[in-house]
């Protein structure tokens, strides 16, 4: 079973700054079956990135994903007010259950 | 427009049972695998269970295996999660999630708003 770790646990930044979030898998995630979600308080998660680097429909281009194998990155080029939230990575390799990472909280510095 | 509406949450005593439902609309329900994901208060996301489009394949997290049963009624466009032998650690918001592709192995674009299950005496 693949285990995901995310770092840092909390990222304190200002609006307009660049955010770099990391997700590491305990074993290789084949075909880059790795997704990223953003969750605001009181809301369901929203899909941002799938296939490690493909932006979901309606997601602005300030969000980008990269990586392969065991190391993946979500980059937000310029933080907007709505981006201060919690971000989760998820692997969907092989068959369920699919692991989520523990999350990275991006808060206002 | 895809809509997923969960119901059936509430307060239940430890050891009790509860059945969650998810009413789906806006897509051909019988073409897609479906999933349940939960989130304990103030905690992260935890994958719970999945079911294939025709109900022939089911999958469970180790934490719920043997206690929870996922099922679906494609004639009613409804997904279910039967939960038994409930524990305090099952307290969470339970989300109904649609597979983005027809297979079970996929990412999650569509989520319901969730239903809260509280296990407490």
Counting one residue from chain A and one from chain B, the pairs whose CB atoms sit within 8 A come to: 66
**Which residue from A46, A57, A88 is facing B44, i.e. has the nearest CB?**
A88
Shortest distance, CA B58 to any CA of chain A (angstroms): 9
Give phi and psi for B88, each to the nearest 5.
Answer: -55, -35
- Residue whose C-alpha is closest to residue A45's, from B102, B31, B38: B38
Integer Cα distance of A22 and A74 in angstroms: 7
3-state secondary structure of A67: strand
pLDDT tens over chain B, length 121 residues? 999 999 999 999 999 999 999 999 999 999 999 999 999 999 999 999 999 999 999 999 999 999 999 999 999 999 999 999 999 999 999 999 999 888 888 999 999 999 999 999 9
| DSSP codes joined into one string, A8-56 | -SEEEE-TT--EEEEEEEEEEEGGG-EEEEEE-TTS--EEEEETTTEEP
The predicted-structure confidence for B63-92, as pLDDT tens digits, reads as follows: 999 999 999 999 999 999 999 999 999 999
**Which residue from A45, A57, A93 is facing B45, i.e. has the nearest CB?**
A45
The predicted-structure confidence for A7-28, as pLDDT tens digits, reads as follows: 999 999 999 999 999 999 999 9
The predicted-structure confidence for A62-82, as pLDDT tens digits, reads as follows: 999 999 999 999 999 999 999
Task: Give CA A76 to chain center in angstroms.
Answer: 10
Tokens 């369920």 locate to A96
A57 contacts in B (CB within 8 Å)? 109
């Amino acid at each position: 079973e693949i285990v995901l770790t995310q770092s840092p646990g909390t990222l304190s930044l200002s609006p307009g700054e660049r955010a770099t979030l990391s997700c590491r898998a305990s074993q290789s995630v084949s075909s880059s079956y790795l997704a990223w979600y953003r969750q605001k308080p009181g809301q369901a998660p929203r899909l941002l990135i799938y296939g490690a680097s493909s932006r979901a429909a309606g997601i602005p281009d300030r969000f980008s994903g990269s990586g392969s194998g065991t190391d993946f990155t979500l980059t937000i080029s310029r933080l907007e007010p709505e981006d201060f939230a919690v971000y989760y990575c998820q692997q969907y390799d092989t068959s369920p259950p699919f692991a989520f990472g523990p999350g990275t909280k991006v808060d206002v510095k | 427009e895809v809509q997923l509406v969960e119901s059936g949450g509430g307060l239940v005593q430890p050891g009790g049972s509860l059945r969650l439902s998810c009413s789906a609309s806006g897509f051909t329900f019988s073409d897609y695998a479906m999933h349940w994901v939960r989130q304990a208060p103030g905690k992260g996301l935890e994958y719970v269970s999945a079911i294939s489009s025709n109900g022939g394949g089911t999958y469970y997290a180790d934490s719920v295996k043997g206690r929870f049963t996922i099922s679906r009624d494609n004639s009613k466009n409804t997904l279910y999660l039967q939960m038994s032998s409930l524990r305090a650690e099952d307290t969470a918001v339970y989300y109904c999630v649609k597979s983005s592709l027809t297979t079970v192995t996929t990412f999650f674009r569509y989520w319901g708003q969730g239903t809260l299950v509280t296990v407490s005496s």
